[in-house]
Structures are given as structure tokens and as C-alpha cells.
Amino acid sequence: MYYYRHDLAVIHDQGFSFHADRCAPGILELLAPVRDGLVLEIGCGSGALTRHLLAAGYRVVATDGSPDMLSLARAALGPDADLRRITLPDEPLPAADAIVSVGHVISYLPDAAAIDLAVVAMAGALRPGGVLAFDVLDLAYGEIPPGRESSGRVAEDWAIVARYEAPAPDLYVRDITTFVPDGHGAWRRDHERHENVLVDTSRLAGLLAEHGVDASVRPSFGTAQLPPGLHVVAGSKRVRR
């Protein structure tokens, strides 16, 4: 099983790529020290950030756990894009000069231990001097503001309704129903329940330091503001002399 099956993947691509677009300028600035290096993207989805990386001239290996997302990325980025299905936290990551990820990808893992495993795997795959930058949901994300317990959006050929709850301090649930045309004049309905694990993100810098990466937890990649509780972890791998 994987998150982001076909219908939600299409809706995310068409309606929710704005987060990657906002994060891209800050990520490109962070990548400046590895200008000629290989960038590994984790959880690329339909390629919303990937296209910015490629347009800036980076060599990119873009990975995701959802084959439906990867099909959309293939359609958007063309046959030459290096797209691979890699599911965190257990599948090995290729060595890279930078590892980037947007859209709180590691928060989709089943528990905090799995998130730690993924973070350690990223640190291990980074080459010395390499850049790490990803966003992740903090415990603070579970404080759902009044009136923000649900949302809905309607476009010409899709609709989405989501309900949000935090049944435990470290769990944020999105209960998502999607509607897309079924090709026969009616609407097809699908449903996904996304369980995001919330972590104390201040712990991650210490974990990364143990694995050779000097990182800090920040409110954003650059200047673009992120939603409260969505934190950025960014840093670089030590060069041993």
C-alpha cells in the first residue's frame, strides 16, 4: 500500500503544487555550494520541485513511493528525467551531493523510529560537504486552529474534501475524499486516510550531528513563510580531514 493513489495524485498535482513552488527559491539558494553535484529528491510527487531543480541546471534523481505520482512526474518531466521508486525508510538511497524534500514526506512514515531511520539514511547517503534540506511536521502542527478542522476545494474536473484531527499529540490525520470524472458522465469517489507522525523536530539536529551532518531547525527554506508547525531541517555533511 502507498499514499497518493491515482485520483489524489492528479488533484495534488493540479491543485497543491504551490508549496513546492514557494519553497523552490530558498532550496536553490541552499544548493549553491553543490552547483555541479547530484541532487537526490525524496518524495518528489508529480515533480513540482523537480522541475525547478532541473530548470536551474541541476542533475537530479527524483524518487517517490507512489507509482501514480511517478507516472505524473514522468509525463511532466519527459523521458530523460531520472525518476525512481524508492520507499522510505528501508530502501537504500543512492549517494548524492545534496538531498532535498518538500511536502513533509518523512512525516508519512509510520512512527518516530521510522522517521529517525529515514533521517539517518539521508545522512548516510550524503557525500562529504553535501547539503541536506527537508521539511517535516513538528508536534506544534497538531494544534489545529478553530475553524480549520476541514477544508474543501472544487475545480472544473476535480473536487476534494478533507477533515483534520489530531487524536494524539504525535498524530495528525487527514481524512480525504476525492471526486474525479469517471469517463462515463458520473463522478468517481475515492478516499485516503493520511496518518502523519508529528515529532519534536528540535531532536533532529542532534540525531544528524551523530551521523556527521551539522544541521539546524528553521522556520523556512528561505524567506517564504511555511504553515505553523511545518519546520525545515537544513545543514551540510562534515568534511573529514
Ligand X SMILES: C[S@@+](CC[C@H](N)C(=O)[O-])C[C@H]1O[C@@H](n2cnc3c(N)ncnc32)[C@H](O)[C@@H]1O
- Footprint of ligand X (CB under 6 A): 3-4, 17, 19-20, 43-45, 48-49, 64-66, 69, 87-88, 102-103, 105, 108-109
Q: Which C-beta is closer to ligand X: that of 94 or that of 128? A: 94
Query: How far apart, in Å, are the Cα atoms of 55 and each of 49, 97, 142?
Result: 10, 18, 35
Distance CA 51, CA 37 (A): 17
- Minimum separation from the CB atom of position 181 to ligand X (A): 22
- Minimum separation from the CB atom of position 210 to ligand X (A): 23
Phi, psi of 87 (to 5 degrees): -105, 125
- Minimum separation from the CB atom of position 3 to ligand X (A): 5
Q: Which C-beta is closer to ligand X: that of 218 or that of 238? A: 218
Q: Which C-beta is closer to ligand X: that of 177 or that of 238? A: 177
Q: Which C-beta is closer to ligand X: that of 88 or that of 126? A: 88
Q: Which C-beta is closer to ligand X: that of 124 or that of 129? A: 124
Distance CA 174, CA 183 (A): 27
- Minimum separation from the CB atom of position 65 to ligand X (A): 3
Q: Which C-beta is closer to ligand X: that of 112 or that of 209? A: 112
Query: How far apart, in Å, are the Cα atoms of 167 and each of 50, 129, 143, 171?
Result: 34, 40, 11, 6
Read off the DSSP letter of residue 225: -
- Minimum separation from the CB atom of position 204 to ligand X (A): 17
Query: 29 by DSSP, 3-state: which?
Result: helix
CA 61 to chain centre: 14
Distance CA 120, CA 99 (A): 12
Q: Are 54 and 74 in contact (CB under 8 A)?
A: no
Phi, psi of 237 (to 5 degrees): -80, 135
- Minimum separation from the CB atom of position 17 to ligand X (A): 5
